Amino acid sequence: MDTATLERPAVEARAPEPRWWTGTPPIDPAAFTIDCSGYAMDAGDQAANSELAIRMRAAFHDVGLVHLTNTRLTDLGDMRLFAKHVIESDMDYKGGANPRDALQPNVYEIGAPLPAFLHYHHEMAYVGRSTSMLGFLCKAAVPGKGATFVSDNVKATEALLDTEFGQKLKQHGLCYHRKLTDRRAFEGKEAVGVYNHWQKSMMTEDPAEAEAAAQARGLQTEWGPDGLLITRYYISGFEYFPQLDRNLLFSSMADDSVWFDAWPLVMELPHEERPLKLTFGNDEELTKEDIRLFIDIYDRFGMPIDWRVGDIGIVCNYRWAHGRPSIHLEREEKRELGVMIGKSFERVQDVDGKW
């Protein structure tokens, strides 16, 4: 079956599809785009003190984004070497939500079907140990299709805190509800309703080790029918960012059932049966108006990063959220991004007086 041609199911809409941006970027792309056509992209440019390395680190420090273009690179391993000018430490994706497979050491596949649109989000906001940054390495691309969108989180934070919903989020925080299926329960069956098995998320086949890994990341756990691992995580919707000495928004509707509105084999499920759900930290449900505003806030400050083969993108997980619309390719077209997970940090949540 061609999942790109699947029609949306007759499930009541909980939220509108993101519009991604207003047509005007929140900052000038020249502030973070580096044209590499003048560089040899050899061992000299791979050196930590090279001109290219210094430019990359400066752009990341100043705006939290780097986009290398015209690199002429085709190998993910080579791209990874250049990304490491900024991504200094590699983090395992243990406890992650998306079902990612490793392509290279610390280079993972996207872990989401192309027809699914991915709401703006901060990577690994739903566990106690997150990542400060992530990188994208472009192995295959169709120009004009499959852009990644990034949203200015500093501006989104300011706009959200000016709303009643933002103040409620500040007061109560959030709870992330997640259901991880057991791979063994789906052997020989169509994976209807499967988002991620706990074996892949926790990187173990042992239920006790999986539960321990989840609890080590601050998750409350219980076992459900058919080996289902159910987790809950109560935490602030914001995170303190040391460089700017302020609390920034660190949550989005990506961790709710709306994440699956275009996800094959999951979108058919009623929202209450889907693998993810988001509530306020006092267990109060979000209203439709809350959900629409949460999506709209990021859309106001978004912009696209279009991909060409060899492009390298690095995103600060504090200062920018990322996502993408649905992608529908022709039979001969291909889009492949490798994902690097950067230096990890323990969530401190929000800090008093840093608003």
pLDDT per residue as tens digits for the range 236-245? 999 999 999 9
Residue 150 CA to residue 129 CA, distance in Å, equals 22
CATH fold, domain 26-346, is Double-stranded beta-helix (3.60.130)
- pLDDT band for position 127 (cuts 50, 70, 90): confident
Mean pLDDT of 268-272: 92
- 6: pLDDT strictly greater than 70: no
pLDDT recorded at residue 121: 96
- 216: pLDDT strictly greater than 60: yes
The pLDDT tens digits of the residues spanning 22-77 come to 999 999 999 999 999 999 999 999 999 999 999 999 999 999 999 999 999 999 99
Residue 250 CA to residue 240 CA, distance in Å, equals 9
- pLDDT band for position 129 (cuts 50, 70, 90): confident
Instruction: Say if CB 137 and CB 340 are below 8 A apart.
Output: yes
Instruction: Say if CB 130 and CB 122 are below 8 A apart.
Output: yes
The first and second tokens of residue 129, run together, are 């140990």
- 184: pLDDT strictly greater than 60: yes
Q: Beta strands of 141-237 (E only): which ranges? A: 148-152, 174-180, 220-223, 229-235
pLDDT recorded at residue 288: 94
pLDDT recorded at residue 110: 59
Task: Report how far apart, in Å, the C-alpha atoms of 137 and of each of 84, 115, 212, 344 are.
Answer: 11, 20, 32, 19
Q: What is the pTM of this model?
A: 0.88
Average pLDDT value for the chain: 90
Mean pLDDT of 141-145: 92
CA 253 to chain centre: 11
Residue 309 CA to residue 68 CA, distance in Å, equals 11
Domain ranges of the chain: 26-346
- pLDDT band for position 111 (cuts 50, 70, 90): low
Mean pLDDT of 221-243: 96
The first and second tokens of residue 174, run together, are 């959030």
- 4: pLDDT strictly greater than 70: no
Q: What phi and psi, each to the nearest 5 degrees, are found at residue 45?
A: -75, -20
DSSP character at residue 13: -
The first and second tokens of residue 251, run together, are 């949550």
The pLDDT tens digits of the residues spanning 64-108 come to 999 999 999 999 999 999 999 999 765 454 444 444 344 455 555
The first and second tokens of residue 151, run together, are 């949203």
Which residues have a Cβ under 8 Å from the Cβ of 185 and sit 6 or more positions away?
226, 227, 228
pLDDT recorded at residue 101: 45
pLDDT recorded at residue 92: 52
- 217: pLDDT strictly greater than 90: no
pLDDT recorded at residue 94: 46
What number of residues does the chain have?
355
